[in-house]
């Protein structure tokens, strides 16, 4: 019992001084909705028509061949000539120095 009281006495001040850190979920890529990304099954030609030339095209690798097109805000992965996935790029948001100190 004494150990419990002693432990509680040690932890109580730290619990009273704790801060709450709030991190907004889903803030990344708010300007680029999932529905605006190329969808699974689309052909390379339809992606090219809708989004234009990619900033960078990576050659196919492996078997089945998987290639990637990188755009400014997202990347598109192809198996042969069809989309298998589209992924938004992470853009870190930095707080101003005044907000970091709060």
According to DSSP, the residues that pair with 56 across neighbouring strands are 70
The answer to whether residues 47 and 38 touch, using CB atoms and an 8 Å cutoff, is yes
Q: How far apart are CA 75 and CA 87, in angstroms?
A: 5
Residue 48 in any domain: the answer is yes
> Does a structural domain hold residue 9?
no
Nearest to 86 by CA among 27, 53, 44: 44
* Domain-located, residue 46: yes
Residue 100 within a domain: no
Give the residue, 79 or 23, on which the prediction is more confident.
Answer: 79
For residues 33-46, b (16+ Cβ closer than 10 Å) or e, as one string? eeeebbeeebebee
Number of domains in the chain: 1
pLDDT at 29 over 50: no
Domain encompassing residue 61: 36-91
SS3 76: strand
Global pTM value: 0.60
Tell me the two tokens of residue 43: 């052909």
pLDDT-above-70 percentage for the chain:
71
Mean pLDDT of the chain: 81
């Amino acid at each position: 019992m004494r150990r419990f009281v002693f432990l509680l006495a040690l932890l109580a001040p730290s619990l009273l001084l704790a801060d709450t850190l709030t991190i907004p979920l889903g803030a990344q890529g708010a300007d680029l909705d999932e529905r605006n990304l190329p969808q699974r099954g689309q052909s390379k030609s339809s992606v090219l028509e809708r989004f234009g030339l990619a900033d960078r095209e990576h050659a196919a690798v492996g078997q089945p061949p998987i290639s990637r097109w990188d755009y400014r805000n997202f990347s598109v992965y192809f198996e042969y000539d069809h989309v298998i996935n589209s992924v938004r790029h992470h853009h870190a948001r930095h707080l101003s120095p005044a907000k970091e100190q709060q």
